[in-house]
Amino acid sequence: MKESVKIGDGVTKGDSKVYIKTIGIHIIAAIIGFVGGRAQIFYEMSPFGVSFAAGCSLNLLPSVSIGVFLGYFIPGITGGFRYIAAFFAVTAIRVMLSSYRKLSLNPYFLSLVSLLASLFTSLLALWRLEEYALRSFAEGILICSVTFLLARVSRVFGRRFAGLTGDEMASLLIVMSIILIAFSSVTLYGISLGRIMGIVLIFISSKYGGTLSGAVSGITVTFSQMLVGSNLSGFALFSLGGMMAGIFSPFGRLAQIAAVSLCGIIGHAFTGGGTQLAIGVVELLFASSLFLMLPSKASVFLGKIFSCCPKVGGPTGVKKGVIIRLDKAASALDDVSKTVEQVAKKLSDINAPSFSRVAGMVEKDTCVGCRLRLHCWETKRSETMNALVEITKAVRSGATKPEAAADEGFKIQCLRLEKLGESIKEKYGHYAAAVVAENRMEEVRGVVSDQFSGVSDMLYSMSREFEGDDRFDNSAALTAAAALKNLDIRSEESYARIDRFGRMTLEFKIKKEEGVVYNKLQIMRMLSLCCERDFDVPVISESAGKVYLTVSERPRYTVDMGVCQFAANGSGMCGDAYRYFSDGLGRFFMILSDGMGTGGRAAVDGTFVSGLMAQLLKAGFGYNCSLKILNSSMLFKSTDESMATLDIACIDLFNGKTELLKAGAAPSLVRRSGKTGKAESHSLPVGILRDIGLDKATLKLKAGDIVILMSDGAVSEDLDWIRNVLNTWGDGSAQQLSETIAEGVRRRYNTEKGDDITVMAAIVNNKI
C-alpha cells in the first residue's frame, strides 16, 4: 500500500513518481526501437526493427514504433524503405487487432504477422533478383524468431514475476544481444563498443542469474557478434567464459573477471594473437572496469531483472515415501497389538490357575496309597469337592485347623484328615499367589497392547496429517517472491506452506547482497497485500551468506495467562501440576492435572500426567491417541494404585474456537459475552482402567471472554461466588483474577478437608 503526500494542486508525490517512471519507460522503449532499427547484420540487413515493433507490448507500441521509424528513416540503412514498409504493415495489423488482446499478444500470431510482412515486402522489392529469394526467406525466419522471443519477454515483464525461468532467461539474453549489434559498428582502432557491452552483459547475467544465465549469455553474445561479420574466432570462447563466470559468481566480481579474461585471452592466443589479442585485452579491461564500477543501486536493479525464478513447491516424492512408511509402521504395530491380545488369551486359557488343579495336587499329595482313594474321588467325588471347598474357605479366613470346617460325614470317612488340611493350606497359598501373578501379567499384557495400539494410532495420525494437511501453494509462493522483488529482495527459494488448519507460512531463502535493507514492516505489509492474508512480523536470520526469512499468519487473538496455587496444609509440595503453551500453529493450550491425594506422591502423578500430555500435544498428536499412551503409562509405571485427573483447554487464536476436554477433572467456568457457564466431566481419571475417554465440549470465544480451570481443592459445593467474580470482572489481569479466586477459596475452605488449590485463568484479548 503506497502512502502519498500532497505536493501541489491535486497532485501527489506518489503520482508524480509514477508519471516520471512512465515517461522514462517510454523514452527507453523509443531508444531500443531506434537501436533495433539501426542494428545491421552482414553489413546490409536490418531485420530487427520489424521484430521489435511486432513483439513489443501494446502499451509501448507507440514509443517503439517512433524509434523504429527513425532508425530506418535516417540515411545509412540499406533497403530502409523496404523495412519501413514491413514495419508499417506490422504496426497497422497490431493496431487494428488491438481490441482482441489475446490474439494481439499471442507470440505465435505476432511471429506469423512479422514473417508474412517481411516476405511480402521482400518479394515486391526483389522480384527481379531471384538470387536474393533464399536470403529474403532466411531473413524472414530470423525476424519471425526474434519477434517470438521479444513477445515472450514482453509478456514476462508485463506482469508481476518472481524471476525468470530458463527459457525466459534465454529469450531475454538473445534480445539484449541483438540490441548490442547496433553498437558493434562503433569502433575506435578496432575496439568495438558492442563487444565491450557484450562482455559486460556476460558479467552481469552470470552474477545475478547464475551459471545457466552466464552460459546462455556467452553463447548469445558470441553469436550476435558473429552475425555482424567480425573475425572473432577467439571471441567464440567467451561462450565458455560465460559459464565459468556463473560458476565463480559466488566468489565475487574479481573471480568472475579472472575466469572470463582467462578464457578470452587463451582463445585469442591460440587463434593468431597479435593485434586481435591486444584488442581483446583492451576490450576486457574496459568491460571489467565498467563492471567493477557498477553502483550498489544499479546492482540491485540488475539483480531484479536477471534473477532466476525461485525454487517452489514441496518434497512430494519424499513426502509420499514417508507417508507409505508411516502407514506400514502403523499397520505393523496395530497387528502386534492384536497379536499380543490373542496370544495372551490363549496362554491364559492354558496356564491360568484353577481350583480343580489345586484339588488334583491335593489328591496326589495326600491320598496316594490310601485304600479309600477310589471311593472318595470317584464314588463320592461331589462330597469330597464340597469338603475341599469348605476347608479352603477356612484357610482363607485364617483358621489354624481348617479341616474342622468339613462336614461330619467327610471327617468320619477321611483317614488322613489332618494331612489333607495341611496340604490344602500349602497348595492354596501357591494358588493364591498364582492368581495374583496372573492378574498382574494380564494387566501388563493389556498395558503393552495399549502402548502398541497407541503408538500405531499416533503414526497413523501423523501419516494422515502429513498427507493431506500440510500442502504447498506454488502460486502464492511465486506471487510472494515477486512482491519481495519490489523491495529489492531476490529469492532463491520460496515456499508457501499451508498447515492442516489452513494457515499459511511463507519461507524464503535469499542471497545476501550489499545495500539491501530488510525492513520488516514493509515486508509484512507487502506480503499481506499480495497474498490477501494478515501476516505477522517476519523472522529474519542469516547463515553461510544466506538470509532466511519466515513469515506466518498473524493470529487474531492473544491470551493473558495467570496461575495461582496453594499446597494443602502449607506443604512444600503440591499435588496439582499445570502447563500452558502455544504449539506454533496458532493454538494455545492449558493443561491441569490433580494427582490422587496430597504431597509428594500426588505431585509425581500430577506432574507426570500434565508433562507427558504437554509433550505429546506439542509434537502434534491427537487427543485420543495421546490419552491412550498416557493412560497405559500410568497403569504401567507402578504396582500401587496411581491416578490423576486431566483437564485441557485449547484456544484457537485465529478464530476463537475453544475445546474443553476432561478426564475426571473438576468443573470449569467460562465467561462468554458477560455470562458465565459451567463445563463438567463424568469420565474417570487417568490410570484407573484401560478403556477411558475424554469428555469434550466446544465453544467460540472472542475478545474479553475468560476460561477458568480449577483443581478439586478449588471447587466448593457452591460456585455462585466465583460466577459473580467472573461476571463483574473488569480490566484486571489474568494473574490478578486467578489470585482473587484462589484467595477466596482459601478463606472459605474447610480446613479438615486439606486439599491442594490451583486456579488457572485465561483472558482472550485482541492482538495489537
* The most confident of 102-116, 291-305, 334-348, by mean pLDDT: 102-116
Asked if 493 contacts 506 with a C-beta cutoff of 8 angstroms, the reply is: no
Residue 466 has pLDDT above 50, yes or no: yes
pLDDT attached to residue 648 = 94
Where residue 705 falls among pLDDT bands split at 50, 70, 90? very high
Mean pLDDT across the stretch 2-21? 53
Residue 58 has pLDDT above 60, yes or no: yes
What is the Cα–Cα distance from 17 to 393, expressed in whole angstroms?
104
Residue 565 has pLDDT above 60, yes or no: yes
Asked if 174 contacts 220 with a C-beta cutoff of 8 angstroms, the reply is: yes
Least confident residue range of 70-84, 349-363, 534-548: 349-363
What is the Cα–Cα distance from 745 to 758, expressed in whole angstroms?
10
Where residue 710 falls among pLDDT bands split at 50, 70, 90? very high
Residue 217 has pLDDT above 80, yes or no: yes
Helices 48-55 and 80-96 pack at an angle, to 10 degrees, of: 10
Q: Say if residue 663 is exposed, middle or buried (CB neighbours under 10 Å; 0-12, 13-18, 19+).
A: buried
Least confident residue range of 10-19, 122-131, 514-523, 538-547: 122-131
Mean pLDDT across the stretch 392-412? 79
pLDDT attached to residue 579 = 92
Tell me the three state secondary structure of residue 251: helix
Closest alpha carbon to 762 in 647, 670, 664: 670
Tell me the three state secondary structure of residue 106: coil
Taking the CA atoms of the chain, what radius of gyration do you get in angstroms? 43
Closest alpha carbon to 198 in 166, 223, 170: 223
Where residue 2 falls among pLDDT bands split at 50, 70, 90? very low
Domain ranges of the chain: 1-160, 162-309, 319-469, 472-552, 557-766
Mean pLDDT across the stretch 323-350? 56
Counted residue by residue, the chain has a size of: 768
Residue 51 has pLDDT above 80, yes or no: yes
Residue 172: Cβ within 10 Å count? 25
pLDDT attached to residue 437 = 60
DSSP category for residue 468:
I
Task: Tell me the per-residue pLDDT of 61-106, one tens digit each, with 9 for 90 and over.
Answer: 888 888 888 888 876 555 567 788 888 888 888 888 888 878 877 8
What is the Cα–Cα distance from 381 to 370, expressed in whole angstroms?
15
Q: Which residue has the higher pLDDT, 153 or 339?
A: 153
pLDDT attached to residue 670 = 94
Asked if 46 contacts 40 with a C-beta cutoff of 8 angstroms, the reply is: yes
Q: In this structure, which amino acid lies at residue 697?
A: A
Exposure on the CB side of residue 26, measured as CA atoms within 13 A = 13
If you search the block for the grid coordinates 518479394, which residue do you land on?
A: 123
What is the Cα–Cα distance from 741 to 324, expressed in whole angstroms?
51
Q: CA end-to-end span of the chain, whole Å?
A: 20
Where residue 124 falls among pLDDT bands split at 50, 70, 90? low
Task: Tell me the per-residue pLDDT of 480-502, one tens digit each, with 9 for 90 and over.
Answer: 888 888 888 888 888 888 877 78
pLDDT attached to residue 350 = 45
DSSP category for residue 465:
I
Mean pLDDT across the stretch 529-540? 87
Asked if 329 contacts 459 with a C-beta cutoff of 8 angstroms, the reply is: yes
Closest alpha carbon to 195 in 177, 216, 169: 177
pLDDT attached to residue 682 = 81
CATH superfamily to which 557-766 belongs = PPM-type phosphatase domain (3.60.40.10)
DSSP category for residue 130:
G
The order of strands in the sheet holding 587-594 is: 576-582, 587-594, 646-652, 657-663, 695-700
pLDDT attached to residue 429 = 73
Least confident residue range of 73-87, 111-125, 245-259, 312-326: 312-326
> Matching CATH topology for 162-309 and 557-766?
no
Where residue 320 falls among pLDDT bands split at 50, 70, 90? low
Asked if 496 contacts 477 with a C-beta cutoff of 8 angstroms, the reply is: yes
What is the Cα–Cα distance from 726 to 620, expressed in whole angstroms?
32
Q: Say if residue 76 is exposed, middle or buried (CB neighbours under 10 Å; 0-12, 13-18, 19+).
A: exposed
Asked if 334 contacts 453 with a C-beta cutoff of 8 angstroms, the reply is: yes
pLDDT attached to residue 15 = 62
pLDDT attached to residue 48 = 82
Task: Tell me the per-residue pLDDT of 633-655, one tens digit each, with 9 for 90 and over.
Answer: 776 655 556 688 899 999 999 98
Specify the CATH number of the domain 162-309.
1.10.1760
What is the Cα–Cα distance from 173 to 612, expressed in whole angstroms?
60
Task: Tell me the per-residue pLDDT of 439-463, one tens digit each, with 9 for 90 and over.
Answer: 655 655 555 566 556 666 666 666 6
Q: How far is CA 219 from CA 39, 82, 215, 239, 262, in A?
A: 19, 31, 6, 4, 17
pLDDT attached to residue 737 = 94
pLDDT attached to residue 334 = 60
Q: In this structure, which amino acid lies at residue 91?
A: T
The order of strands in the sheet holding 471-472 is: 471-472, 491-498, 504-511, 546-552, 539-543
